Amino acid sequence: MVEIPVEALPDEVLAQVDLVAKGAGDRSELGGERRFGGVVLRKPLLYPARPDDLPAPARRRADQGTTQLLGFLAAVELEPLRRGRTYGAVELEVTLPESCRIVAFPGGEPDVVGLHGNVFGRTVKTMDGSGLVVHVIVEAPRELLELAGQVRCSAQICRSVGKLVHIVQTETEKSAPFAERVASGRAVRLVVAADVHAYSGRDAGGTERAQDRLATVLDRASRATGSELEDRQEGGDSFMVVFPPGIDERAVLVAFYSELASGLREANVDLSADAAMRLRVGADRGLTLRGASGWVGHGPITAARLRDCRQARDVLRGDAGVPFVFAVSDCLYRDVFSERGLVPTPASFTSAEVDMPEKGFTAKAWIHAGAAS
């Protein structure tokens, strides 16, 4: 079992709530005390579940397009208690909509309950730290775009009274509601796919260095856009990034292109022509969704096909001084790169009819050869 620490989750607070005695109307036996401690409930983390995390039946339903599968992490941080008091059992409980259900516990924790239901939680009998995380896989309707629910916490607080230990059952004074956007829902997204030219001709050391340089250059270009990525996938000599819906595609693509060009120049500055990394890059936008085995839809397929098309390969084969080729779909060219005053300029693109009969793919593309300096 791999325990996920609270610190691994984003440092965003959902709510800070008092721990009060359960059902304590008359607090005379508690010395009139009302508040026994407090907790910080972290904002839940939601992510598209990986195929390895999923049981076979859930994978099949997701592949059929009827459901989507989401990883969900919730966490609580416990307030330090005053001297003479310690935490006993601590429970973190989450309630989701009835249309959702829990299908897996990827962390393998034996103390998590709620499989196949919409209410789940984790109880730790003896706390040896200051926080608690619960990690589950949620099966939700495919059309769900926002996952809402509530989080609550309860805890035993042990008070030393002379030689005796008095246990007080406490709970959060109120549940904390949350609503998180579901990143993997069906929506229009921008997808950029890249590949290292002549990768197979490198030796083992050369391929490893090329993979490292590819990740460095593409990560740098992605960060320059100022947009969070919805997904980032590496596959040896290939790389794909998926941007979330609703971005300013013009600003994102122009920033990505500029940083790609400068990052590639820096990566190759001390390398010979044979060792230098050269890239094929394809981009498209389209209706996409995440299935159990990865992204499906027009955008990811077209971005990869344009990256691999004959016309893009011919640019690099025909001129050893071209560091990268950028192939974009017709819709992206018309909406983004046809505008005057941008870099790359509209005139630097050449139209091409891409035909891959073996793939059943045809499309109009616009091909741009990156400058060496």
Tokens of 66: 């009827």
**What pLDDT digit, counting tens, does each position of 294-312 carry?**
787 888 999 999 999 999 9
Residue 265 has pLDDT above 70, yes or no: yes
Residue 47 has pLDDT above 90, yes or no: no
Supply the pLDDT for residue 1. 37
- Residues 317 and 362: beta-carbon distance below 8 Å: no
Residue 210 and residue 136 share a domain: no
> Which residues sit opposite 300 in a β-bridge?
none
- 67, part of any domain: yes
Supply the pLDDT for residue 366. 98
Q: How far apart are CA 105 and CA 112, in angstroms?
A: 8
For range 210-235, the mean pLDDT: 89
Residue 25 and residue 150 share a domain: yes
Of 61, 77, 32, the C-alpha closest to 138 is: 61
For range 225-240, the mean pLDDT: 86
- 68, part of any domain: yes
Pick from 44-58, 105-119, 311-325 the range whose average pLDDT is largest: 311-325
- Residues 240 and 280: beta-carbon distance below 8 Å: no
Which one has a higher pLDDT value, 123 or 51?
Answer: 123
Last residue of a domain, one of 114, 147, 181: 181
Residue 63 and residue 100 share a domain: yes
Last residue of a domain, one of 140, 155, 181: 181
- What secondary structure letter does DSSP report for 33? -
Residue 138 has pLDDT above 50, yes or no: yes
Runs of H (alpha helix) within 232-368 = 249-268, 298-308, 310-318, 330-332
CATH code of the domain in which 278 resides: 3.30.70.1230
- 256, part of any domain: yes
Mutual orientation of helices 249-268 and 204-224 as an angle, nearest 10°? 140
Residue 199 and residue 148 share a domain: no
74-88, 289-303, 322-336: range with lowest mean pLDDT = 289-303
Last residue of a domain, one of 181, 212, 239: 181
Supply the pLDDT for residue 111. 79
Q: Where are the beta strands (DSSP E) in the chain?
A: 13-21, 35-42, 45-48, 67-78, 85-95, 101-104, 112-113, 119-124, 131-141, 146-161, 164-172, 176-181, 187-196, 231-235, 238-242, 279-291, 294-297, 324-329, 349-356, 361-369
User: In the structure, what pLDDT confidence band is assigned to residue 207 with cuts at 50, 70 and 90?
Assistant: confident
The pTM score is 0.56
Question: Which helix (H) or strand (E) covers residue 57, if one does?
Answer: helix 56-63
Q: Give the CB-side neighbour count of residue 362, counting CA atoms within 13 A.
A: 3
User: In the structure, what pLDDT confidence band is assigned to residue 28 with cuts at 50, 70 and 90?
Assistant: very low
Supply the pLDDT for residue 50. 65
55-64, 157-166, 282-291: range with lowest mean pLDDT = 55-64
Residue 148 and residue 25 share a domain: yes
Residue 198 and residue 53 share a domain: no
User: In the structure, what pLDDT confidence band is assigned to residue 109 with cuts at 50, 70 and 90?
Assistant: low
For range 54-72, the mean pLDDT: 77
Residue 76 and residue 27 share a domain: yes
Of 354, 361, 336, 355, the C-alpha closest to 346 is: 336
- What secondary structure letter does DSSP report for 66? S
Task: Give residue 150's domain range.
Answer: 6-181
User: How many structural domains are present in the chain?
Assistant: 2
Supply the pLDDT for residue 314. 96
User: In the structure, what pLDDT confidence band is assigned to residue 93 with cuts at 50, 70 and 90?
Assistant: very high
